[in-house]
Amino acid sequence: MYQNVTFLPLSDITQKVTQVCMIIYDVTDIALNKQMASEANQKLERLSHTDFMTQLNNHGYWLECCQHEYKRHTRTQQPASLIMLDIDHFKNVNDTYGHPFGDKVIKKVADCIRENMRETDIAGRYGGEEFTLILIDTELENAKIVAERIRQSIENVAFDFEGTEVKVTSSFGVAQITGNIPNYKSWVKTADLGLYIAKDTGRNKVSVSPH
């Protein structure tokens, strides 16, 4: 029971307070309605930030987080690194095994990312079969280690398609914020260039842009 309580002093004929009156109002319905509305608003806010399939941050919200992290770096000069990854030959996966199987692969890749990141890191589905991960307070060499760990985790997954084992691989680009990166968009572009290099030189590897 939620209550609103009012205390009223009661005076005698000499204006001396001799008693106190306590009035209790039952406001349970009002309180519960407000609580439910607050919870509903919080849920809606989470949904607006979340990619439905993977439960990672969606593209728009992840970009906001990326911009925020870049600004934090400019204030604190603490290191930060960004990983971009792409499932190799994903179109072939969809064409060969069907889109439902492709969706299963995307969900599992998201799980591999979650299993290899810290609570403070920020993962997102950038679009289609491409994912992103911001590593807070992490320099390039350590970011490459995390990327390699995720790469191996994805490579080790054995998917089942009608009794047949199917495996997929992924390519990675990694970038740390440096003096040559003037804004968060350039940070993303630098990591994306590393991803392009990985895909162009054989796939299933971690690469860094020379910039």
Cβ–Cβ under 8 Å, residues 122 and 161: no
Return the closest-CA partner of residue 209 out of 171, 179, 176, 184. Answer: 176
The residue type found at 123 is A
Cβ–Cβ under 8 Å, residues 145 and 118: no
Give the position of tokens 């003096």.
179
Phi, then psi, of 15 in degrees rounded to 5: 70, 20
Cβ–Cβ under 8 Å, residues 151 and 205: yes
Of 129, 139, 148, 165, catalytic: 129
Task: Kindly list the distances between the CA atom of residue 166 and the CA atoms of 112, 131, 149, 169, in Å, as whole numbers in the listed order.
Answer: 16, 21, 20, 10
> Measured at the alpha carbon of residue 209, what is the angle toward residues 111 and 55, in degrees to the nearest 5?
20
Active site residue 129: yes
Residues carrying an active site annotation: 129
